[in-house]
Chains A and B, each alone.
Chain A
Amino acid sequence: EAEVAQSPRYKITEKSQAVAFWCDPISGHATLYWYRQILGQGPELLVQFQDESVVDDSQLPKDRFSAERLKGVDSTLKIQPAELGDSAMYLCASSFPGQASEQYFGPGTRLTVT
């Protein structure tokens, strides 16, 4: 069964360092989402791509976060510099266009900033 792949699964970094997460969506899914899930809270959308274009990044802290999906397939989310408050689970999901209700989630990357 096709799955959304994410790496790494766990990342520990010191504050002020740069960190990057990678996501490979299910083949054929043109829509890709990055969410942040703080412990005890629900996922919060950071950025949504349609192919290689960003369609919603209203909740992305653009002073330190960036996301790209250059070829419209896999995607990278970067944080530079990392802050203590960035410790969270970062989830990637994908879906067919117009099928946001059928999002498939990856296992996530748990980030700890020390």
Chain B
Amino acid sequence: DIQMTQSPSSLSASIGDRVTITCRASQGISNYLAWFQQKPGKAPKSLIYAASSLQSGVPSKFSGSGSGTDFTLTISSLQPEDFATYYCQQYHSYPLTFGGGTKVEIK
């Protein structure tokens, strides 16, 4: 199975900060990488697919990059609605696997 490792597991940031989350795959996955946002008690929301493509309706403050084994999710200017947990997922091969999550909290 492909292991997905996210870092950090949590971070504290202020409104307006630029935030970067890292995801590393245990083997190359090309660009078969998605990012999800989840708020407490809610289903995940799809943000990015193919490492850098924004899902329809997702604001452009979210961006993704990377290929192979190393990927990043960046939020350009953190807003109150962005405080949540973020997960990466590889869909290169079965079983699909998720990173452990990064909880973004208010400083």
**Physical interaction between A and B:** no
User: Which residues of A approach B to under 8 Å, CB–CB?
Assistant: none
Residue numbers of B with Cβ under 8 A of A are: none
